Amino acid sequence: SFRQYCSPQSLPLVSMPLTTGEFEVFRSCARNYRRKPITVRLKYLSALEEWILENLPVIRKALSDDLGKPAMESDLTEAYGVLGEIRHARSRLPEWMADQPVGTPLSMIGTRAWSCQEPKGVCLLIGPWNFPFLLMVGPLISALAAGNATILKPSEFAPATGRLLTQMVAAVFPADLVCVKEGDHTVSEQLLTLPFDHVFFTGSARVGKIVHAAAAQLNASVTLELGGQCPVIVCADANLEDAARKIVAAKFFNCGQACVAPDHVLVDARIFDPFLNILREQVTALFGDSQQIEQSPDYGRLIHRQHAERLHKLLNDALASGAVLRLGGISRPEQRFMAPTIITGTASSMRIRQEEIFGPILPVEPFESLETALLESGGQDIPLAVYAFTRSRTNLELIRDERRSGALLWNDCAVHFLHPGLPFGGRQGSGLGRAHGHAGFLTFSNQRSILKQRIGWTGIRLFYPPYSRLKRRLADLLLRWF
């Protein structure tokens, strides 16, 4: 039942299209699943956890095949990211699912009201290639916890992980509750013709717009987790070594292919030169010197040759337009390798400063005054996160007020992704809606309002026609005081 097609790396499977009839089977499964007690949801979450713990070596192998991910990186970012979400959801699910009573204002006297969370129904998850396991299974946990049937469309550029997801889902879930549809954009396009209740998309801003428009045709609600372009601001009072180590770790893990990776660094001009030296030292401390990095088991690879060539050109164009190479620069697109690279002297007119870099190139630029730097960058797209390194609360508050973003981190980069208590997501160009933990549960739930009224006399009846003078006076009292 599968046909094959060519991708840049290997031959991933393309699943058969989902027919309207098959979709209806999912819908009726969703109707059954929503009526099941909480123990059923908890059972699936536990079964998923168990499968992941038993299959860690297989997950590492798939991620190594797709992205050359070091085993430790797979465990900490992809497997633990998901396990942490499962445990967080399992322990809080009773609280999240409980009805929320609301108080009764005087104007509503005689009523009782509460809100409850109901599953949306059948949800579609479309994923990217950079964290192909985490970014498919993370939203799946929220969708399942909220009681939905779910269809996953992983990225065609991480075929080993796509296949692994298919195996995992077949082993853990009934086929009409969760299924995986592998293949390229044509598979997403076909799926987006079906009447899903919610579409959760993680990927580029360009495709996000296409998915948003398709979801509008379905009247489906939508979550968009899009591009990062996260700036780092290093103030003069920062601990330079601490800041440099954190920036290097967050920029160069997964070879810079993370939506939460630092995109560029703005550094107070007074500490620019010493900071640049420390930044270079930290690259060597974490990944070895430039001769060793290519052999280092701790440094990943770019996803495919086309992406490696894009980065190669981005770097060379910047250097040709006057940027200065400060570290690295070795790039072998045919091997999908690019060394950790630091450049300075970039201008905002250069492509490298306009596009999301999404690779191991780090532009570092000085600023004379924090206020001016913030003012100049304030007009840009809203990033997923802003990372501020400073000891001063005043600086932090200035950055918070002047630079909008989905998240603000004080003295670290990227780690908020792994905090299940924090809603995760962007604004405008970096996304729409929130994921993770309780926010993820709410994303996949409809908040339903329930109101119980008395039979017979009610407060509202005082205002039914005919409108007497007494009712007029009551209405005046209501307008003025209640």
Residue numbers annotated as active site:
225, 259
Among 50, 54, 189, 237, binds ligand NAD (CB under 6 A): 189
Q: How far apart are CA 402 and CA 112, in angstroms?
A: 43
**Would you count residue 135 as binding ligand NAD (CB under 6 A)?**
yes
Secondary structure letter of residue 381 according to DSSP: P
Angle at 67 between CA 61 and CA 71, to 5 degrees: 45
Instruction: Give how far the C-alpha of residue 357 lies from the chain's centroid of Cα atoms, to the nearest Å.
Output: 17
Among 119, 127, 231, 429, binds ligand NAD (CB under 6 A): 127
Among 383, 431, 433, 440, binds ligand NAD (CB under 6 A): 431
CB of 189 to ligand NAD, least distance (A): 5
Q: Which two tokens stand for residue 125?
A: 């998850």
Angle at 449 between CA 445 and CA 452, to 5 degrees: 145
Piece of 23-31, 219-227, 273-281, 455-463 that binds ligand NAD (CB under 6 A)? 219-227
DSSP string, 430-460: GEES-BSHHHHHHHTEEEEEEEE--SS--GG
Among 66, 73, 85, 225, binds ligand NAD (CB under 6 A): 225
* Type of residue at 99: D
- Look at residues 153, 216, 162 and name the one whose alpha carbon lies nearest to residue 187: 153
CB of 248 to ligand NAD, least distance (A): 20
**Window 432-451: residues binding ligand NAD (CB under 6 A):** none
Contact 454, 119 (CB under 8 A): no
Half-sphere exposure of 266 (CA within 13 A, CB side): 23
**Would you count residue 140 as binding ligand NAD (CB under 6 A)?**
no
SS3 letters across 289-344 = CHHHHCCCCCCCCCCCHHHHHHHHHHHHHHHHCCCEEEECCCEEHHHCEECCEEEE
**Would you count residue 202 as binding ligand NAD (CB under 6 A)?**
yes
Piece of 109-117, 174-182, 205-213, 340-348 that binds ligand NAD (CB under 6 A)? 205-213
DSSP string, 163-178: HHHHHHHHHHS-TTTE
Among 356, 399, 403, 423, binds ligand NAD (CB under 6 A): 356
Using CB under 6 A, count the residues that bind ligand NAD.
29
Three-class SS state of 8: coil
Piece of 89-97, 113-121, 207-215, 275-283 that binds ligand NAD (CB under 6 A)? 207-215
Among 77, 155, 161, 390, binds ligand NAD (CB under 6 A): 155
**Would you count residue 204 as binding ligand NAD (CB under 6 A)?**
yes
**Would you count residue 14 as binding ligand NAD (CB under 6 A)?**
no
Contact 53, 198 (CB under 8 A): no
Q: How far apart are CA 163 and CA 54, in angstroms?
A: 17
Among 118, 184, 242, 281, binds ligand NAD (CB under 6 A): 184
Question: What are the CB-based long-range contacts (under 8 Å, 24+) for 242-245?
Answer: 242/389, 242/411, 243/275, 243/389, 243/411, 244/275, 244/278, 244/279, 244/281, 244/282, 245/282, 245/285, 245/286
CB of 77 to ligand NAD, least distance (A): 11
**Would you count residue 162 as binding ligand NAD (CB under 6 A)?**
no
CB of 223 to ligand NAD, least distance (A): 10
Q: Which is nearer to ligand NAD, 268 or 356 (CB)?
A: 356
**Window 240-259: residues binding ligand NAD (CB under 6 A):** 259
Piece of 65-73, 98-106, 185-193, 292-300 that binds ligand NAD (CB under 6 A)? 185-193
Q: Which two tokens stand for residue 203?
A: 């990927």
Q: Which two tokens stand for residue 417?
A: 């992704």
Q: How far apart are CA 198 and CA 19, in angstroms?
A: 18
**Would you count residue 358 as binding ligand NAD (CB under 6 A)?**
yes
* Type of residue at 326: R
Piece of 69-77, 222-230, 373-381, 474-482 that binds ligand NAD (CB under 6 A)? 222-230
* Type of residue at 92: R
CB of 249 to ligand NAD, least distance (A): 18
**Would you count residue 12 as binding ligand NAD (CB under 6 A)?**
no
**Would you count residue 210 as binding ligand NAD (CB under 6 A)?**
yes
Q: Which is nearer to ligand NAD, 147 or 333 (CB)?
A: 333
Q: Which is nearer to ligand NAD, 117 or 443 (CB)?
A: 443
- Interface ranges with ligand NAD (CB under 6 A): 126-130, 135, 153, 155-156, 184-185, 188-189, 202-204, 207, 210-211, 225-228, 259, 356, 358, 384, 426, 431
